[in-house]
Chain A
Amino acid sequence: MVAPKPFGVGFAALGSLAVALTLGHAACVESTSQTYGPGSTGAEAGATTGSGTSSFDKRALLASLGNLAATETASFADRALELEATTNVLAAEPTAAHLEAAREAYRDAMKVWQRLEVMQYGPAAPSTIPGGRDLRDAIYAWPSINRCAVDQELTKDEHATPEALAPKLLNVRGLGALERLLFDDSSSNACGAPNAINTTGAWASIADDLPARRARYAASAAALVARTAEQLSDAWAPTMGNFIGELSTPGSTYKSDPAKALDVVAYALLYLDTKTKDLKLAVPAGLASCATATCPEALELGQARLSKAAIRENLIGFQRVFHGGAPFDKEALGFDDWLDALGATELRAELAASIAAALAAIDAIEEEDLAETLKTQPKRVEDVHLAVRSILDLYKSQLVTVLDLHPPNDAPTDND
């Protein structure tokens, strides 16, 4: 991968125009919140095809994908604010109705977040990835979740303010901790009998105050999530951090090379491989690292009963990046347009069909949560795993070859 020379002034000006026009086309995503549309950063449609020769503008693609992430992030930030508001109400008055409202707000926020999980390019990404600022883990550190640690924190009751919670480890805050705090009704804890909170009686002593403590803790955790979500949204917004601009007209972050930025985007999609396929599906289905027939305890978001929704939203996020937006949106520029421009229409169609098949497989599961499916029809979960694997087999073999994609920070050695 080689950094092209910087474009001249004329190219840069035209590039900005291209970005602006593209955003006008690429903003159609399901969201109730802000959509970055025409004039946000500027663009033109990136792909034109004709007989024999076609043209494709990677910077326009990046602008489209940046816009997608920005729009989803803004949508999540809105929901995080709603979650903060509902948990504040719950903390002030921990009633069942307020708890249900907070839970609903959590579900709404988490569904959007699960789409963003596959869009970990830009500020959400780990700081080891170009452009990354570690913001994702501050919002949701899964699979680094420690339910016992959350219960230990409850006994300390040190979370009256978000500031008090902020210095704590990632696994006792964020959406992971919030799931435990909002969806655990039991009076027991997740720690073993020898744990100090059990041996010292610390847990037993808070039994009466448990709902109130959980509510206060949840309010602080939700406030921190909302703050980070705002930070993330601002980082993307054209009028603020404008990471859309950084992505689509790469500067120092991507060494002025759109290919490097596309590598980052493409490899963020492999969340579907390492997390969705392997951790969310293979382990619970008993296909990997599971000592029993199935391992429902390994399901993500089991307490919130969102394990199925999480996988579905991951697939939708993947689909949106692939298509640049909704699959039916022909204006949105995505990887499918890039493949089309290259003439790899068969691969494009096959990938689109694979994604649709995986979505159909998850939608074929009637139960709301996969824990029930694993009890009654574990084969259904295996089917979803197989369908997701089919996507990734194509993606990791032919797609990365045709588009010449490389892992970010690649080149541990030279390439001959």
Chain B
Amino acid sequence: MIERSLAQRLRARLDAPTDVAALVAFRVLFGLVVAAGALRFVLEGWVARCYLEPTFFFKYWGFSWVRAWPAWGMYLHVALVGVLGLAVAAGFFYRASAALLFLAFTYLELIDVTVYLNHYYLVSLLSLLLACMPLGQAYSLDVLRRPDHRLDAFPAWCTYLLRFQLGAVYIFAALTKMGTDWLLHAQPMQLWLSARSDLPIVGPYLGRFEVALAMSWAGFLYDFTIPLWLSWHRTRGLAYAAVCAFHAAVGVLFNIGMFPFIMTTGALVFFPSSWPRMIRASLRRRASSAGGPQVAEPATPSEAPRALAPRLGRIGLVLGGAFVVAQLALPLRHLAYPGSVLWSEQGMRWAWKVLVREKNGAVTYVVRKRDGRRELVEPRAYLTEAQAREMSGQPDLILQLAHHIGRDFAARGEGPVEVRAEARVSLNGRRPKLLVDPTVDLVTIEDGLGVARWIEPEPGEPPLRLKSLARSSR
């Protein structure tokens, strides 16, 4: 009886009507950021670099069927993403647009693993969530087309789900930082900051170890606590200012693209559902106090909404719950594997391990042919420079290319061959170490969810500690 009561209360909480304003603002801003990102992708020439220049693409499990289109198709596809972003922003055929945005954007990600970025993954997830929400039924072109579909309130679960998603990004990003490299040795922060010691004014300080350590801790504490500060009304304003400052700093210091825009937009979901109206009201009050024309206050959610969204059904509840569970489990799956995830990369993707390691390596494949002859194969024979660089620190990608090399030799009539990899990798500035066992014929290894015994243990020594570096005085 009590349990039922709790469930009912939960349902009531999830279905509670909230003002549409905040979520509409989020929809508009998110759509615009996606559209801007697509435009930027084209203008930077990344369509060609990521999808047209490579002759080999790294595949995700179960998605080997995903292929790049011909050039015109790829440009059309990215343009479509931009248009769909605008459609979501405008609320034009909203549900279909958001669903198509999810599919189109995710397809782009699935073409090649080396294109993976945490914030691309976040865009996919957010567009999926938006497609499940009735956010196009207020202040949208859809409402202009069909006024009878207009909603005056959205159910609260929409806000909760978005808050959960954004909060998960921060919390798991913080958990990833809970290691000695980050918190004790200030790496890779010191590597990145030392490289920016030429910046005016702050530059000389960036090269100092203490600064790197302080920034490492600040980043960790920021990630770990910011959802809390954003959720608490007393600290929300200050917290959002911190969000803007943090992401502005990260955007300036690191090449992190649209991530700051997505996160500063996303953080708005922690605000009360009427925040846009509050801002508008505040602006109007200022205008009137400055002698402007008197304007009536807009409707607020305290007035009884005329049309409510349908209650969350049982299927919706189950799917939403499953989504939440998956989003909690995926980032923690690395705990099932031995050693450091930053080294083995088992459990690295879809886990919000954002900017936590600097890894570079040199990989050479050793192919042994049937006649016993040995041939060295450089990854660049199959990959673009950017792909090779991404692959060099990721064992599963090294494995994929080994399989491809094996198939390629077989197709040339030189198979079957054994393919081994000599991959020397530096993690956070450490001395390079073998990443995969060079004695293992990788062709015989199938990638999977199990512990990859063919990956060498991570280096035991701490990362390099740089001298505090300042630009020479002039």
Residue ranges of A at the interface with B (Cβ–Cβ < 8 Å)? 1-2, 4-5, 7-8, 11, 14-15, 17-18, 44, 46-49, 52-60, 257-259, 274, 278, 282, 287-289, 341-344, 346-347, 389, 392-398, 400-404, 407, 410-416
Please name the 4 residue pairs, one residue from A and one from B, whose CB atoms are nearest each other, closest first.
A414-B257, A404-B195, A14-B474, A343-B467
A397–B361 touching, CB < 8 Å: yes
Q: In the complex, A400→B362 CA distance in Å?
A: 11
- Chain A residues lying within 8 Å of B253, measured Cβ to Cβ, are 2
Q: Which of B57-65, B319-327, B372-380 contacts A (4 or more CB under 8 A)?
A: B372-380
- Chain B residues lying within 8 Å of A400, measured Cβ to Cβ, are 360
Q: In the complex, A278→B365 CA distance in Å?
A: 13
Q: In the complex, A323→B115 CA distance in Å?
A: 36
Shortest Cβ distance from residue B192 to the other chain A in the assembled complex, whole angstroms: 6
A-B pairs with beta carbons under 8 Å apart, 5 shown: A53-B470, A56-B471, A259-B198, A398-B426, A410-B386
B46–A342 touching, CB < 8 Å: no
| Interface flag for B194 (CB, 8 Å) | yes
A1–B255 touching, CB < 8 Å: yes
Shortest Cβ distance from residue A386 to the other chain B in the assembled complex, whole angstroms: 10
Q: In the complex, A281→B426 CA distance in Å?
A: 26
B117–A414 touching, CB < 8 Å: yes
A-contact bits for B431-442, CB 8 A (1 contact / 0 none)? 110000000000
The verdict on A288 contacting B377 (CB below 8 Å), with A404-B194, A414-B259 known, is: yes
**Which residue of chain A has the shortest Cβ distance to B200 in the bound complex?**
A5
Q: In the complex, A102→B140 CA distance in Å?
A: 79
Indicate which residue in A4, A278, A289, A412 contacts B386 across the interface (CB closer than 8 Å): A412
Q: In the complex, A396→B384 CA distance in Å?
A: 16
Q: In the complex, A124→B282 CA distance in Å?
A: 60
Q: In the complex, A402→B191 CA distance in Å?
A: 6
| Interface flag for B468 (CB, 8 Å) | yes
- Chain A residues lying within 8 Å of B361, measured Cβ to Cβ, are 396-397
Q: In the complex, A394→B431 CA distance in Å?
A: 8
A-contact bits for B96-127, CB 8 A (1 contact / 0 none)? 00000000000000000001011100000000
Indicate which residue in B50, B258, B354, B378 contacts A412 across the interface (CB closer than 8 Å): B50
B203–A415 touching, CB < 8 Å: no
- Chain B residues lying within 8 Å of A44, measured Cβ to Cβ, are 472, 474
**Which residue of chain B has the shortest Cβ distance to A344 in the bound complex?**
B464
| Interface flag for B159 (CB, 8 Å) | no
A11–B200 touching, CB < 8 Å: yes
- Chain A residues lying within 8 Å of B252, measured Cβ to Cβ, are 2
Residue ranges of B at the interface with A (Cβ–Cβ < 8 Å)? 44, 46, 49-50, 115, 117-119, 191-192, 194-200, 203, 208, 252-259, 354-355, 358-362, 364, 374-378, 380, 384-386, 389, 392, 424-426, 428-432, 464-474
B424–A393 touching, CB < 8 Å: yes
A56–B203 touching, CB < 8 Å: no
A342–B469 touching, CB < 8 Å: yes
- Chain B residues lying within 8 Å of A55, measured Cβ to Cβ, are 469-473
Q: In the complex, A402→B44 CA distance in Å?
A: 27
Q: In the complex, A56→B206 CA distance in Å?
A: 13
Q: In the complex, A58→B471 CA distance in Å?
A: 8
- Chain B residues lying within 8 Å of A402, measured Cβ to Cβ, are 191, 426, 429, 464, 466
- Chain A residues lying within 8 Å of B473, measured Cβ to Cβ, are 55
A393–B375 touching, CB < 8 Å: no
Interface of A is mostly: mixed
The verdict on A53 contacting B467 (CB below 8 Å), with A4-B200, A404-B194, A414-B259 known, is: yes
A412–B464 touching, CB < 8 Å: no
A341–B255 touching, CB < 8 Å: no
A7–B359 touching, CB < 8 Å: no
Q: In the complex, A44→B200 CA distance in Å?
A: 19
Taking each of A14, A49, A412, which has the highest tally of chain B beta carbons within 10 Å of its own beta carbon?
Answer: A412
- Chain A residues lying within 8 Å of B44, measured Cβ to Cβ, are 411-412
Taking each of B44, B191, B471, which has the highest tally of chain A beta carbons within 10 Å of its own beta carbon?
Answer: B471
Q: In the complex, A60→B354 CA distance in Å?
A: 34
**Which residue of chain A has the shortest Cβ distance to B188 in the bound complex?**
A401
Q: In the complex, A192→B380 CA distance in Å?
A: 31
Q: In the complex, A274→B383 CA distance in Å?
A: 13
The verdict on A288 contacting B376 (CB below 8 Å), with A55-B473, A416-B355 known, is: yes
Q: In the complex, A48→B468 CA distance in Å?
A: 12
- Chain A residues lying within 8 Å of B469, measured Cβ to Cβ, are 53-56, 341-342
Shortest Cβ distance from residue A326 to the other chain B in the assembled complex, whole angstroms: 23
The verdict on A412 contacting B49 (CB below 8 Å), with A53-B208, A397-B426 known, is: yes
Indicate which residue in A49, A258, A344 contacts B198 across the interface (CB closer than 8 Å): A258
Shortest Cβ distance from residue B408 to the other chain A in the assembled complex, whole angstroms: 13
A343–B466 touching, CB < 8 Å: yes
The verdict on A414 contacting B194 (CB below 8 Å), with A343-B465, A397-B425, A401-B360 known, is: no
- Chain A residues lying within 8 Å of B254, measured Cβ to Cβ, are 2, 415
Taking each of B358, B359, B378, which has the highest tally of chain A beta carbons within 10 Å of its own beta carbon?
Answer: B378
Indicate which residue in A1, A401, A413 contacts B429 across the interface (CB closer than 8 Å): A401
Shortest Cβ distance from residue A100 to the other chain B in the assembled complex, whole angstroms: 39
B359–A401 touching, CB < 8 Å: yes
Indicate which residue in B50, B198, B256 contacts A415 across the interface (CB closer than 8 Å): B256
Q: In the complex, A1→B354 CA distance in Å?
A: 17
Besides the known contacts A58-B198, A404-B195, A415-B256, 17 further A-B residue pairs in the complex with CB atoms under 8 A apart: A4-B196, A4-B198, A14-B474, A52-B467, A53-B468, A54-B469, A57-B472, A287-B374, A287-B376, A343-B465, A347-B464, A389-B362, A398-B426, A404-B194, A413-B46, A413-B117, A416-B117
Q: In the complex, A55→B472 CA distance in Å?
A: 5
- Chain A residues lying within 8 Å of B470, measured Cβ to Cβ, are 53-55
- Chain B residues lying within 8 Å of A18, measured Cβ to Cβ, are 472, 474
- Chain A residues lying within 8 Å of B465, measured Cβ to Cβ, are 343
A396–B362 touching, CB < 8 Å: yes
Shortest Cβ distance from residue A391 to the other chain B in the assembled complex, whole angstroms: 10
B380–A274 touching, CB < 8 Å: yes
Shortest Cβ distance from residue A360 to the other chain B in the assembled complex, whole angstroms: 21
Indicate which residue in A46, A287, A392 contacts B362 across the interface (CB closer than 8 Å): A392
**Which residue of chain B has the shortest Cβ distance to A287 in the bound complex?**
B376
- Chain A residues lying within 8 Å of B431, measured Cβ to Cβ, are 346-347, 398
Indicate which residue in A46, A395, A398, A410 contacts B472 across the interface (CB closer than 8 Å): A46
- Chain A residues lying within 8 Å of B119, measured Cβ to Cβ, are 414, 416
Q: In the complex, A342→B208 CA distance in Å?
A: 10
B432–A397 touching, CB < 8 Å: yes
Shortest Cβ distance from residue A293 to the other chain B in the assembled complex, whole angstroms: 8
B474–A11 touching, CB < 8 Å: yes
